[in-house]
Homo-oligomer: A and B are copies of this chain.
């Protein structure tokens, strides 16, 4: 049923991946290090996400974490490496830094450009870079004790990996600004009220159960229809409604086809789950 076997998710050091029933589950797996984002993480995350997109039968991705906290954000080793390298002619150093930021941002962009939805299940703290990552997910869910923190401001720098770019589309601006300027924690309750998370669960087990049940509902739908939803909503965030309606119609011209509609309607009549084709992988050879 899944092609996980065919995918080389064995040598990962910062996360584990399993794919079952069309749901890919990525778990941050350095609990004793608070799942901090070490250099390997920045390579593994986009590579894993793109592999799932290209080669698997997954129709939705769930991200959660092992241990007490979701993630402490950027590992200090990254800063230390950078500090060592922070020398030379200042214009070239600045240009190098600019490209490094682009590269790190791209690791999280992968969550946005992958064709299937990405749901995040958060317990404990999600700090600094973790908020950048969560902002690039489709929807967020958390436990009662979870908290979120734009920590970067408190260590003397401006968060640069997506938080300040995506949060203003996700929660009220007045609150985004307070959180960013102060670097204070956002509690689960506040996160629910402001729309940053969709639902709050009592504990990590209830959380994962709840999120998996939503993932299951998504995986039961046509992956083409769901992919279209994701592409359209992201597009709408960044374009005018007129442009977005044009994009919708142009997309639909090729992507609306009868087979999935027939499958869905037939299954509803017969009261059994519909069986949709997978999303296609690439053309065999360019």
A interface list, Cβ under 8 A from B: 39, 42-43, 60, 78-79, 81-86, 88-105, 109, 112, 117, 138-140, 150, 152-160, 162, 164-178, 180-184, 194-198, 214, 217-218, 221-222, 224-230, 232-233, 236-265, 268, 274, 276-286
Provide 28 A-B residue pairs closer than 8 Å at the C-beta atoms, listed in order of the A residue: A85-B284, A91-B256, A92-B224, A93-B280, A96-B280, A97-B252, A97-B253, A98-B252, A98-B253, A101-B252, A104-B286, A117-B181, A153-B222, A153-B225, A157-B256, A158-B255, A162-B241, A164-B236, A170-B172, A170-B174, A171-B195, A174-B195, A174-B197, A182-B218, A239-B243, A243-B243, A250-B254, A251-B253
The listed residue (B140, B173, B246, B265) touching A237 by CB distance below 8 A is B173
In the complex, the chain B residue whose C-beta lies closest to that of A152 is B225
The listed residue (B89, B152, B165, B197) touching A277 by CB distance below 8 A is B89
The listed residue (B84, B237, B255, B277) touching A254 by CB distance below 8 A is B255
Q: Which 9 A-B pairs have the closest CB atoms?
A: A254-B254, A172-B195, A158-B228, A156-B260, A94-B254, A156-B264, A238-B240, A253-B254, A98-B253
> Complex formed: what's the CA distance from A71 to B156 in Å?
36
> Complex formed: what's the CA distance from A253 to B277 in Å?
18
> Complex formed: what's the CA distance from A117 to B153 in Å?
13
Q: Taking the full assembly, how many copies of this chain does it contain?
A: 6
- Given known contacts A174-B140, A250-B251, is B286 in contact with A81 (CB within 8 Å)? yes
- Given known contacts A249-B160, A256-B160, A261-B155, is B92 in contact with A280 (CB within 8 Å)? yes
Secondary structure dominating the interface of A: helix
Contact B173 A169 (CB under 8 A): yes
> Complex formed: what's the CA distance from A257 to B86 in Å?
9
Contact B248 A181 (CB under 8 A): no
In the complex, the chain B residue whose C-beta lies closest to that of A171 is B172
Choose among A60, A159, A195, A274 the residue with the greatest number of B CB atoms under 10 Å from its CB.
A195
The listed residue (B94, B117, B250) touching A98 by CB distance below 8 A is B250
In the complex, the chain B residue whose C-beta lies closest to that of A241 is B165
Which chain B positions have C-beta within 8 A of A227?
A: 95
Which chain B positions have C-beta within 8 A of A157?
A: 222, 225, 228, 256, 260-261
